[in-house]
Structure 1
Amino acid sequence: MADISKSLNNYELETKAYKYISEAYMKKMDSSKAFYFAKKALDINKNRNNLKGYLLDINQLGRAYHHFQLYEKAIETYNKGIVEYNKNGGGNKLTVLSTIYSNLSAAYDKIGQTDNSIEAILKGVEIAEKTNAPTQKSYSLYLLGYKYMGIENYKKAEEYFLKSLEFSDSVSLQTYVNMNHHGLGINYSRWGIYDKALHHNKIALDFFRKQNDKLYEFDVLNNIAVVYQKINRYDSVVKYGELALKIAKEINHKLAISGANLTLSNAYLNLKQYNKAEMVLLEIAKDTITPNIIDNNSKSAIFSNLSEVYEGKSNYKKSLEYHKKFKKINDSINKQNLDSKFSDIETKYQTEKKEKQLAEQKIATQEQELLTQKANTRSWILGLGILLLSVSAFFIWRRYKAEAKAKQIISNQKDEIEQQKNMVETLQKELHHRMKNNLSFIDLFINLAKGRFEDKAYQNKLNDLQNRMRSMFEVHKQLFKKDDVTSVQAKNYIDTLVENVKQAYEKDSVTITNTTNENETLLANTSFPVGLIVNEFVTNSYKYAFEDQKEGTIHIALTSQDNVYKLTLKDNGKGLPKDFDINELDSFGLETIKLLTKEYGGTFTIDGSNGVAMNITLPKTAA
């Protein structure tokens, strides 16, 4: 097509052909040819002083740079187009300019320049409203959705994605309809509304498959895998993760391959398929020396997962080696984040302090001016009525200023409280993170000790110690992963503790049921005694309850009502001796449960006539 256009001396058709060829090479992930043909089109329109064509070619070249993650080059290219438009008084080229501003916003967003990104998108929206161009209006609304999602305002993001989807559908822009389904899928996933996340992602997946858009297809598949990971459906994670990896390899996209492998490694770990997890993690680890492929956050996840893999395979030496790597890089990330946060707070504080000083100076100046004006007025106007009016006006003004100042002080105090609250939450997360790491080290040392001694009694004691320690470890692990550091998901927490005990004793004949509601939460400080009590009860049941039985059942339920938690623990084992006396205990586990209940101000009852049944209440207290 390009050659035919050239022979016909039709430069407009020729430049269009070059843009299409550039787009095709973008899909094939051939960066050099994508840039080459975009630049050929650009040179033709520049030499012919065709501003509209030039701006379209600038947009294509910028998109190509963005596609291959050269965001600085993309920004430079887009700004070059804006300068050219302003220099030549673009006139009716506003639609193209709006597209350039929108794409410029996306590029700024990628390098963390939020203020520039917002400024560019607002300019793009302003131009789109003037021109009423359907494609640009859809794209601008879509970008606003992403912008709000980026600052975690998921309700606003939903509003703009749905607006863009509705408008795009009304003007039959099917690509934008499905781009918005894709955006809504990510937004709902981050928001925690997983059924809607899957619904919108699967609509988008069907469309992009039909369009043979491999990059979007990969992204949607990986997003679906991540949603299934969040709801603990690991078989589905593997299914969609492997499909995503296949696409990533087809288009030879290094970053996509690493992302898909990392998603798969998490699923394999949770399914305890350690060999598969090790294989994909070691494949990604080859790229950890290349910063543009693997960033520090991904490196941290890789080393953490490899540590878990080798712990699962009982290779504690390697597990400790990767745990040290994880800790080193994670401490570096956390320090950088904290330094940045404290720097932002200090800058904001100094700015507000300076603004307050300037405001006070301005008020003082205004007061002086008013006093001078009043004196002059009094000199010229001797009427008593006007003097009284001036005095009244002055006092009204002073009162208004005093109220305004008081409101400003209250507003500043609220801002300072919010800053302090955010700082405390950050420090709490850092504390939980460090506690989790320290407990993880202890866990590794216990495993190393278990590997050196074959005595069964010694192994059992270490298992008991390890499970008690893991009940505390799990609290810090869950709190570190959450934005809310004051509570944990009760059912998931108890399931994890139970799984640790099951692995330690390996009795397949024992069945454990946990009927705790999925939405039940447990305050952070109450989660420690609950975890230790559950661990002690389940451990005792495994060790003593079913000695004379082929099969056994353990039941656990945690409920909350008013200001108390109620924990019910039962087994159908041999029960307690007839002469059992709660005040004369010879069981470390039962003594621990009794002491923990008393220490936290709870109540404790036990019945050993038909198996063992415990009913424990603990007060709800703020963490």
Structure 2
Amino acid sequence: MLFVLAFLSPLAYGQIFDFDKPNPYKKIFVETDNFDASYLNELEGALSSIKIDTIKFEVLNDLAYYWHTRNLSIALKYTEKGLELTSGKNNLVWNGRFQITKGAILLRQEKLDAAKIVLKEAETKVREEDLAFLNTQLGYIYERRGQLAKAADFALKSLSLGDKLNDKKAKGIAYSDLSNLLWKQGKYEEGLEYGLKSLLFFEERNIIDLDYDFTLYVVGNNYLRLKQYEKAKQYYERSIEIGERYGFYNNLSDVYISLVDLYAYRNQFSKAEAAGKNAIKYAYLLDNAFMLMRSYLAVGELQSQNGEHLAAIENIQKSIAVATPNFGDGFFLSKAYNSLGNAYAENEQYQEAYRAFTQYDSLNKIVFTAEADQRISQLQTEFNVAQKENTIKLQKTKLLQQQTNQNFIGLIAVFLFLILTVLFISFNNNRRKNILLRKKNDEKEFLLKEIHHRVKNNLEVVSSLLALQTAQIKDPKVASAMKESQNRVYSMSIIHKRLYQSEYLSSIEMKDYFINLGNHILDSFGEKTRIKIIYKMPELHLDVDTAVPLGLIVNELLTNSLKYAFPNKRMGEIIINLEKKSAYEIELLVKDNGIGQTEGEPVKGTGFGKKLIDLLNRQLDGTMQVIYTCGTQYLFNFKVNRLT
């Protein structure tokens, strides 16, 4: 589950703005996470180009909120600018949202009272969908004050709102906060369970963001306390990867603080020392006393464990100095005094150790009260009971739906039975009609084939008569003209022959037709050994009205090539290509490699063939181009109704 999102958002700079769109802003960490740590620069750069107020407020608020993960002072500057703009525009909702962001910044600046005031004021302005985030910030205030039960109350309020609005992020944050609170109480098993639930909600969103990153850290903390060190390390490393990608300095400082403990437990002191330095570095970059206090504390505890008691005392004292007077977090402050007491005791400074332990006991009683423990346990019970009640209600609703569905299915079954009865009767009637229609179609098909057969026979009779007549003629020119006429008749008879022999009665396949026509013409001229015809064309079916004129055109061009293109027994070849250019256009190419002719050269013979080609070309609404290079090429383009 941990690495589900690792591959959903590749480390690449995403396009956050597209000013050609009505809404140019692709909201960060909501619509996209496909960018790197420079995204704040892009938000800043685009701000002056945005004309629509609500989009400008949205970008400015995101700029303010995500700067608080790097530098609290800069974040506050952008927040104040947003409050000023929204007040000027009298936009209460967005003014309230900027107040929530301001509250988040103030509480991290240790100004807990001011944060609470501004958040309570925002509560009266914003919409219901904003309240889960607002309650989360209020919960953090009470957590920092050590009032863990009150903090848990606000986490559960956020969870309830998340359930109501089906807001996965709100539910994820609520479970994450409960996990962190249970961890602080030492309830690591329960804390781990809630943390893993939180990650499921975040991963369903398919967006990596600040809260998902923080939850990885919280889950790692629970694994650490359960002494599952390798598991904890995996979650910490994934959190660091996200933190470095987006510049989440607060989370990075958190994780490095925990890594100090992890490496110390595993006696990897050099790694623990390096982690401590990183924790302090990010705390200083963030300018956050809370992070700095905890970072010094982690380094001091490491030094104490490593026997460097004087250095440990110095760093833990720094931690306590950072934490007062407005620190407010009794949990970590009590932890600091306990560690200081241990360091003093190890250094044999027993009086100082006693004073430190006294402070620890005082703070510990405030944070870990029986009342707080009971309240959180009660909240857990209430939550579990509510979940079970919801489950029972859901089951009752499902049973009711099932009963309704069964009744509905019964009605549908009766209705379907009636429909099937009607359909069966209709089917029988249609089947009888189809048998009659099929019989009539078979009869018509037989008659059509018979017609094509008779037309073919009649054309062959005409061809034979022409052949007999040709045999009686002595004039070679007249005999040649008769032979050409015979070939023309034959070209038409082939079509009718193909039609009655084929399963298709309305179209003819042209390649096979041209092959038969070409062989016949070569045979009639006695040129099969000297002239070769190449058919560079795919299979193509055409209707009879198109096929007959095309056959006559090809017949004339083949005849012309055989008569004039290859004199003196010259060897040669003729290429025929017919292909479709679109659904309604075909192209015919007839090309020979003979002696060729020049443009404007007088027509050889009677010229009847050329006139026939022109006539047939116009009949097919075609265009003709003659190319006089390397032999002679005739290129035609014809419009047809539809190609098959």
Higher helix share: 1
Higher relative CO (Cα under 8 Å, sequence separation at least 6) belongs to: 2
TM range (shorter): 0.3 to 0.5
Structure number, greater radius of gyration: 2
The TM-score with structure 2 as length reference comes to 0.46
